[in-house]
Structure 1
Amino acid sequence: MHEQGIGAWLAKRRLKSPDKVALVHDDRSTVTYRQFADGADRVAALLSRLGVGKGDAVAYLGENSPDFLQVMFGAARLGAVFVPVNTRLAPPEVAHVLTDCGARVLIHDVEFAQRVADAVDAGPSPQVVVTGAGTADRPGLTRLLTTTAGDDTAAAEVGMDDPAAIIYTSGTTGRAKGAVLTHGNLTWVALNCVVDYDVVSTDVALMISPLFHVASLGMGALPVILKGATLVLEKGFEPGRALAQIERHGVTMLSGVPTTYQLMADHPNWATTDLSTLSKLTCGGSAVPTRILNAYEKRGLSFSQGYGMTEASPGATSLPPAMTRAKQGSVGLPHFFTSVRIADEHGAPIADDGIGEIQICGPNVFPGYHLLPEATAEAFTADGWFRSGDLGYLDADGYLHIAGRLKDMIISGGENIYPAEIEVLLGEIDGVTGVAVIGVPDAQWGEVPWAILTVREDAAVDVASVRRFLDGRVARYKLPKNVVIVDELPRTASGKVRKAELRDRFGGS
């Protein structure tokens, strides 16, 4: 069997467009597709030398860089499973990811050395390699690769159903679940983007969002690489720098969340930056507010908006720019190779405009959660559709509209926050007798988490003490922005907190 997975992409790109610039980083440093493929081959040989084989997990904790992508494609050549780790996770969260996936190797940027040390002390024991040169006693990835020759024999036989990546997504039970994405899932989501966003080989895509997010990886980097276009890699987002990079590199494609677009439009250089090359803007995480649409339309720009989740690799729908105003409030039509339906509480399909659970089917939908057969079974209907847990409806034209969430997920600046994870920890604070975490609208971040607590009369609990308690236990974007002490939490007869009442009460604050 020949290699079918994404690990074969770079070898084919090396043949088809060897001298085309694939990656731009550190402002002006470039990597051609030949260099990109050669680097991935050396990574594959190095990982093989470290004992990595088909099915083994290779974790990566680092910012956007050529190393990130070369490790991913190098691992894919071996049939190994790439596990990108969110750089904002606290050491206990990193430890959970490494333990759960059974990482054989962890590659990380040097600035995360202490976090890695703290995480590894908690139990997992992968082989650890730092990016960069390292030291003579402990050579880093760069030095190791200079002494490693790419070896075509390292490539494994990989099929489309083989796992390519595990992406960890916060769960309603409070522990992150690993969504297993196959080579087929990642191939088909890239094809969906090529079709629906008209990705072409002359595109230049600015990556201002971290590649450890599945949207940036699956719908940003992969379709660009598939088409042989160019990625401009940014280690972080700063609005003025992003504007400068658009002008400097003639960027045509940009993806982000409403907050990033708002910060760019608010920057002093917004009006004077040459944005004439921009033609493809995509926005996810939440609906684009009218004020942002207005600001970009004044510059002759419009958005593709969409809806998805990690389990769909992540794209489910897209709203084309031409329909941004006509279908404002909608998240668009199903992607070309993806289907969406609405079902009632019994699983029966609902007709146009009827609100029910959004369910998704297609070759981009994952096969299940890592080592969680019960959670996997609960995530799918009997006929194989993924149950999103979100509520919505399809209008008469087939456009999807989000009506609410069955789950209590909070989306803050494009980051998913599940209250249960925070609530479990808040319940450990001395004096706290009842906990509910809700999302409250925020002009900058879309939503921010608030903690609604009941406490003992003698307890000294406030927002500062709560944030101090949680800091280091969860990523900082999960820290409650406000703490409200109430006499009692509204509950159902079975004792569950009625969060809808809390959102109604505090949502306009």
Structure 2
Amino acid sequence: MRNAGLGGWPHRRARMAPKRKALTFQDVSLTYEELDDRTTRLARRLEELGVRHGDRVAYLGPNHPSFAETMFAAHLLGAVFVPLNFRLTPAEINYQLADSGARVLVHAASHVVPHERAISLDGYEEWLAGGSADRLDVPVGIDDPALILYTSGTTGRPKGAVLSHANLLWNTFNLMVGVDIASDEVALVAAPLLHVAALAQTLLPTFVKGGHSVLTPRWDVDECVTLIERYGVTWLFGVSTMYADLAASPRWLDADVSSLRVLLCGGASVPDAVIHAYQDAGLVFCQGYGLTETAPGATFLEAADSVRKAGSAGPPVFLGDLRLADTGEIELQGPNITPGYWNDPVATAAAFTPDGWFRTGDIGRVDADGHLHVVDRLKDMYISGGENVYPAEVENAIADHPDVAEVAVVGVPDERWGEVGRAFVRPRDGVELDVAGLRAFLVTRLAKYKVPVHFEVVSSLPRTGSGKVLKPALRRLPLVS
């Protein structure tokens, strides 16, 4: 087999464990043998549409087996897979389709945008079944581009981060060093596969080991508990808000979660209260740090240290290195790092230091054990009365209050201090938050200049497609008082 990339994975796995379950969606399962056949037929269909080595194939829709099939089929042909965020507006999606130059778009019937070669999941099964089962053997190099993943685009146009097959392979290796993944794993994939964390930290490592991935089209707390119990889920990945919602669910208290071995969390800082909610229940809660551009794992807190170093993002991954710039910015190096941005040499050059380290835009500190603590985004820090304030630290303190479900803090202009904090707080369900009491709670935990001047009680927080709080949107909101 001349395909050194991800496209060869279904066949390689099918040779080893043809009858094992590979994917389950809404109680319908595919074995590795069936997935191999379907991927081959889909690749032949894409070939009929003119897809060749280096072309781009886009996908638009929630989690579904066709996402994995389209990705592997594109990679069988040496094409580049472009997962699009189904939460974006048609204008935003059209920009990414045009920027990537996608030759084919596979899309859910509920997410339709104009494209000359669009394949709807409505007729997908018949169309796929008509493809030839003749095996392909297109040469694909390990350093060929595999994915174009568009960043959230919180400022300006989103950039297309390119990840090579090698980036994804080395990330899989790093994750498997950090987590003792077994061949009988059952992974719950509830976070969107269009983001690299769910794909590369859950689906791909499970696939390599011949495990079973249970896909859900969206995050739903009750459905999550049901699937854990029904399939004996052994591990899952989620972002902080997903775990906060799960811990607050009445169903969680009585759920049978005895099958769970590891909970992985990433994407944003995790409040200590959320971490301890799972650790106190006897579960292993492991955090990591990374970005889309790092495929995504850059550091990882292994199970052995998950209690002792709770709140830390762990040391650098096995094949990766980390350093801090004079500003405190985290800089990274390793075989999992993006080669750059699609058709954007200026952004690519700006992302790397002169000696080749990737600039993350995040501020961190490294403790005596070599573990990374992510302080905040470089651009989120604000200066109040000459003192640097890192919103993540303030958010962590606020989240410790028993009446708080989640919080986001931003800096806003102030005539006297230059900038002060503005906290957007979502209370726990059924709780009427006492802002004065919350302020008094913080005064004993934070220096006075770190305590926000403005507090606003909200029912929800705006988020990017990957679940991160959209702080630029909060900064633009006029002050209530």
1:183 Cα deviation (Å)?
0.5
Alpha-carbon distance in 2 for matches of 1:389, 1:150: 46
Contact persistence 1:89–1:475 (CA under 8 A):
no
Task: Specify which of 173, 176, 195 is matched with residue 194 of structure 1.
Answer: 176
| Corresponding residue number in structure 2 for 1:413 | none
Task: Specify which of 139, 142, 149 is matched with residue 132 of structure 2.
Answer: 149
| Corresponding residue number in structure 2 for 1:16 | 16
Residues 302-343 of structure 1, C-alpha deviation per residue, up to 9 Å, x if partnerless? 311011000001110011233234223321111111111112
| Corresponding residue number in structure 2 for 1:59 | 58
Alignment pair present for 1:107 and 2:106: yes
Alpha-carbon distance in 1 for matches of 2:407, 2:206: 28
Distance 1:367 1:18, change over 3 A: same
Amino acid at match of 1:23: L
TM-score (norm 1): 0.76
Distance 1:483 1:337, change over 3 A: closer
Task: Specify which of 318, 321, 342 is matched with residue 324 of structure 2.
Answer: 342
1:191 Cα deviation (Å)?
1.1
Alignment pair present for 1:332 and 2:322: no
Distance 1:78 1:450, change over 3 A: farther
Contact persistence 1:185–1:364 (CA under 8 A):
yes
Alignment pair present for 1:392 and 2:391: no
Residues 338-359 of structure 1, C-alpha deviation per residue, up to 9 Å, x if partnerless? 11111225xxxxxxxxxx2211
Partner of 2:253: helix, strand, or coil? coil
Amino acid at match of 2:210: G
Alignment pair present for 1:128 and 2:104: no
Matched residue count: 417
Contact persistence 1:165–1:180 (CA under 8 A):
yes
Contact persistence 1:190–1:219 (CA under 8 A):
yes
| Corresponding residue number in structure 2 for 1:424 | none
Q: 5 Å matches for 1:51-450?
A: 51-113=50-112, 116=113, 120=114, 125-132=115-122, 140-153=123-136, 155-171=137-153, 173-344=155-326, 356-408=328-380, 441=395, 443-447=404-408
Contact persistence 2:185–2:235 (CA under 8 A):
yes
Alpha-carbon distance in 1 for matches of 2:283, 2:275: 8
Amino acid at match of 2:67: F
| Corresponding residue number in structure 2 for 1:2 | 2
| Corresponding residue number in structure 1 for 2:446 | none
Alpha-carbon distance in 2 for matches of 1:3, 1:276: 40
Contact persistence 2:279–2:285 (CA under 8 A):
no
Give the root-mean-square deviation of aligned CA atoms: 2.9
Distance 1:158 1:446, change over 3 A: farther
Choose 73-82 or 299-308, whichever is displaced more.
299-308
Contact persistence 1:451–1:484 (CA under 8 A):
no
Partner of 2:59: helix, strand, or coil? strand
Contact persistence 2:108–2:121 (CA under 8 A):
yes
1:485 Cα deviation (Å)?
3.5
Alpha-carbon distance in 1 for matches of 2:164, 2:108: 26
Distance 1:451 1:62, change over 3 A: farther
Residues 200-234 of structure 1, C-alpha deviation per residue, up to 9 Å, x if partnerless? 11100001101001101111111111111110001
Amino acid at match of 1:220: T
Partner of 2:314: helix, strand, or coil? strand
Distance 1:149 1:445, change over 3 A: farther
State the identity as a percent: 45
1:450 Cα deviation (Å)?
9.6
Alpha-carbon distance in 1 for matches of 2:206, 2:478: 49
Residues 435-490 of structure 1, C-alpha deviation per residue, up to 9 Å, x if partnerless? xxx9995854553889989xxxxxxxxxxxxxxxxx9xx9997594686436xxxx
Contact persistence 1:293–1:302 (CA under 8 A):
no
Distance 1:44 1:446, change over 3 A: farther
Choose 261-270 or 165-174, whichever is displaced more.
165-174
1:55 Cα deviation (Å)?
0.6
Partner of 1:485: helix, strand, or coil? coil
1:382 Cα deviation (Å)?
2.0
1:173 Cα deviation (Å)?
4.6
Contact persistence 2:192–2:218 (CA under 8 A):
yes
Residues 146-195 of structure 1, C-alpha deviation per residue, up to 9 Å, x if partnerless? 11122323x32111110001000034651100000001011111111111
Residues 268-289 of structure 1, C-alpha deviation per residue, up to 9 Å, x if partnerless? 2112211001011001122332
Distance 1:403 1:481, change over 3 A: closer
Amino acid at match of 1:311: E
* Unaligned runs of at least 5 residues, structure 1: 133-139, 346-355, 410-437, 454-470, 487-505
Alpha-carbon distance in 2 for matches of 1:65, 1:484: 36
* Unaligned runs of at least 5 residues, structure 2: 382-390, 415-461
Contact persistence 1:254–1:282 (CA under 8 A):
yes
Choose 68-77 or 253-262, whichever is displaced more.
253-262
Contact persistence 1:451–1:480 (CA under 8 A):
no
Distance 1:82 1:475, change over 3 A: closer
Distance 1:126 1:179, change over 3 A: farther
Contact persistence 2:58–2:104 (CA under 8 A):
yes
1:87 Cα deviation (Å)?
1.1
Distance 1:99 1:393, change over 3 A: same
Contact persistence 2:51–2:103 (CA under 8 A):
yes
Contact persistence 1:452–1:483 (CA under 8 A):
no
Amino acid at match of 1:485: P
Amino acid at match of 1:291: A
Contact persistence 2:41–2:130 (CA under 8 A):
no
Choose 44-53 or 315-324, whichever is displaced more.
315-324
Task: Specify which of 479, 482, 485 is matched with residue 478 of structure 2.
Answer: 485
